[in-house]
Amino acid sequence: MTDLKKLAAQKAATLVKDKTVVGLGAGSTIAHLVDFLNASLQSGLDLQFVTSSFSTLQLLHTKKLPVLQTEFLSQIDIYFDGCDQMDRQLNALKSGGGIHTQEKLLAAMAKEFVLIGDETKLVESFDLKYPVVLEILPQSAAFVSRKIEEIFQVAKMVMRMNDKKDGPVITENGNYLVDAYFESWPEIQSINPIFKNVPGIVETSLFYSMATKAIVAGNEGVVVLES
């Protein structure tokens, strides 16, 4: 059986040119991409890496690849990341890892932001089983939940709890995560401005109008979509 994630990663690697700072997100497709880019380095390309993910950082260090720190960069050349789902306008939902604030920072810093994944990720509209994840200040938890449920009557707010210890999940930034589930989607372009206007919300997991390309692998081959 064809590994579609590996196919997408192989195509993504062809977008990386010499003397490039490459940003990387998280996940199994990104891990495949690291393998392909490592081969490019061995063949003579001059590449440097920056990542929003601890697991990807560990992988880069294991392979002894050159890693830069985000805080010393104002711009990067290209950023690759996966997602839970993307629509045909290349808007994306990323609700799994809880590192969307760092991911969105690198996506915004990049001259080119490329989503990669298999064809199951490409949808006409987002599935309601996926939440918009909010990173919030801990002291704002009760206020944010009440405020969002007032604004969106069809929203259900669920604090993300830690299954390894008692208490909520704590992000790398020291904040909480709240999953906002909708019974029906509001206008997609309105979601981020409304959420970001509520004091206490740091960032959302909806990547609206950010990606420049998407690489989607299916049984019929790999397609490159552009925004």
Bridge partners, 218 (sequence order): 221
Classify residue 159 as exposed, middle or buried by CB count within 10 Å of its CB (0-12, 13-18, 19+). Answer: middle
Kindly name the residue from 103, 112, 124, 135 that is annotated as catalytic: 103
User: At 220, phi and psi to the nearest 5?
Assistant: -95, 0
What is the C-alpha separation between 144 and 133, in angstroms, rounded? Answer: 12
187 catalytic per annotation: no
What is the C-alpha separation between 22 and 34, in angstroms, rounded? Answer: 10
Query: What is the widest separation between alpha-carbon atoms in the chain?
Result: 56
Catalytic residues: 103
